[in-house]
Amino acid sequence: MNVNDIKHAGLKKWIEDFAALTNPDEIILADGSSAQYDELIDQQVAAGYATRLNPAKKPGCVAYNSDPSDVARVEKRTYISSVKQEDAGPTNNWMDPTQLKKEMTDLYRGCMKGRTMYIIPFSMGPLGSPISKIGVEITDSAYVVANMMIMTRVGVKVLELLGTDGYYVPCYHSVGKPLAEGESDNGKWPCAAMEHKYISHFPETREIWSYGSGYGGNALLGKKCLALRIATVLARDEGWLAEHMLILKITSPEGKSRFVTGAFPSACGKTNLAMLIPTIPGWKVETVGDDIAWMKFGSDGQLYAINPEAGFFGVAPGTSDDSNRNALIAASSNTIFTNVGVTEDKDIWWEGIGYDAPGKLIDWNDNEWVQDKTDKTQKPAAHPNARFTAPAVQCPSIAAEWEDPKGVPVSAILFGGRRPKTIPLVHQSHDWAHGVFLGSIVGSEVTAAALDVKAGTIRRDPFAMLPFCGYNMGDYFQHWLDVGHAAPDAEKLPKIFYVNWFRKTAEGKWLWPGYGENSRVLKWVFERCEGTAKFVDTPIGIMPTIDAIDRPEGVTEEDMKELLAVDLDGWINEVEDIRTNHYPKFGNHLPKELAVFLDTLESNLKAAK
């Protein structure tokens, strides 16, 4: 099938118009077949963009190195271009849509000369699911096509679902590097200069326009762009939730299962939790999704979630047999690696993989690299944001229900962040609205090295959605409250919890071992959903009794008392920070209901002193 065979007149015209603007050498339709995927990879290897890895060690795998200027999401060049600036809100970059579209149209003009234009019809979520959405991405990057084939459901079946007039989200993309006649990239990663990079979202017209970057969420437009920034707008207007959340299934020794979603800022172990291997005998955790959850009410009044993605786009450094064995296995074949180290025998290596570098490597900058542990200034072999793109179906912990079109029924929602003090190991909201309050105040500690701020500073990241909400975040809080008010049966709403695996002693030692031991907290969450858990009410919410959570080896009763204590002074300081530095950002868009919760929390804390 080729572009001329497309039956959707609107889609066909959109493609023709963009081709006339960008002037590609040829146009190819991504059909989703393994044969086409293999052909694209073969072409990329032959052209020097990619290195084929050792089939005895990493069958079906390739490694790419990007340009040093194109290694991560570029937040400062990411725009929510609503008609009114107020609708983008205080946490998003904004540009006038008329001005932005003019600037980008000028950049798109002739930008695909010397290149192939690929058309990628893709489904976010299982084909035909009532929660799924369809997008179509136009790109001049074969790397993007191959990654999208892993991360989404791509191909002819998507076009069949669209029919002659179905709805799709249009996604424009170009690496922004046209080629003169006879010119080639010489195997070098193509992208534009930083000042010409744009990742733009138009909420009113539901469009995504990306230019200048070939990397990750800047270019794989099904990922953060559609799955969150545009999907949050669709969800607001249609009465559902599009969230930056993992989805896991936990099963008790008795065979009873519950599904849990969880939102955590970066570096807080979201993927590790999604693929967790429990340390409690008889308990089992399985993976539905590691990054995105779309949730809608079913006909039975229960909230159901799908993972709209088909793969994992995971951070490689720090992923090891100890931290996330299931992720390593998922990425052991048919995987695209980006910006990792490559060994002499064509295997991969990165910092934190769990063993020393085996001899000489080629690092992510295409330079020879030999590990020198005595040199504290040695640059890493893998970029800190190096990635693996792996099919979800290869994950050993993948749940049988992960592609169920109706989704999975959500029993609990977790929020969390990296907090060395104040926030206890786990506490629970009294109800949905109180849970929205907890989600709205999520914060995580950042280091001075990361953001040039005072060490210990807390960066608020409400719902772990700070970079991903496609409209005013104050209105987003209100939407969450509205979803609760509109629930067909309030008793069936998921219970909401706030967890913190990152508590430290005054001396800086971890109080909680984390990783697989977090299954002990999940067990208490499960038991709260069952109505069997031991608990106590406190000024901040519902908490486990000291003996309600099975203690891991090395965690004393005194440690548990510290982990489950309500730090009244710390929480009073927390309230002051929220009242002074966080909530005022949202002005009159902050729901009054949340301001009341903050006042109530403060009075509860003062009464308990």
Q: Let me know: does 454 contact 448? Beta carbons within 8 Å.
A: yes
Question: Distance between CA 209 and CA 194 in Å, rounded?
Answer: 16
Question: Distance between CA 522 and CA 544 in Å, rounded?
Answer: 12
| Residue 307 burial (CB count, 10 A) | 29
Residue that the structure tokens 């965690």 belong to: 555
Handedness of CA 328, 333, 337, 343 (dihedral sign): positive
Q: Let me know: does 442 contact 198? Beta carbons within 8 Å.
A: no
268 belongs to the catalytic site:
yes
The closest alpha carbon to 220, from 336, 133, 141, belongs to 141
Question: Distance between CA 592 and CA 481 in Å, rounded?
Answer: 11
Residue that the structure tokens 């050993």 belong to: 396
CA 453 to chain centre: 25
Question: Distance between CA 66 and CA 338 in Å, rounded?
Answer: 7
| Two tokens, residue 91 | 């946490």
Q: Can you spell out the DSSP letters for 465-533?
A: -TTT-SS-HHHHHHHHHHHHHT-S-GGGSPEEEEE-S--B-TTS-BSS--GGGGHHHHHHHHHHHHT--
The closest alpha carbon to 149, from 222, 210, 94, belongs to 222
Q: Can you spell out the DSSP letters for 565-603?
A: ---HHHHHHHHHHIIIIIGGGGGGGS-HHHHHHHHHHHH
Residues 6+ apart with CB under 8 A from 5: none
Tell me the Ramachandran region of residue 467: left when phi exceeds 0, alpha when psi lies from -120 to 50, beta otherwise.
Answer: alpha
Q: Let me know: does 335 contact 390? Beta carbons within 8 Å.
A: yes
Quick one: three-class SS letters along 305-334?
EECCCCEEEEECCCCCHHHHHHHHHHCCCC
Question: Distance between CA 274 and CA 261 in Å, rounded?
Answer: 9
Strands 284-289 and 246-251, by their bridges, are antiparallel
The closest alpha carbon to 348, from 311, 375, 387, 312, belongs to 387
| Two tokens, residue 315 | 């951070």
The closest alpha carbon to 525, from 553, 551, 495, belongs to 495
169 bridge partner residues = 135
Residue from 61, 171, 225, 268 carrying the catalytic annotation: 268
Catalytic residues: 268
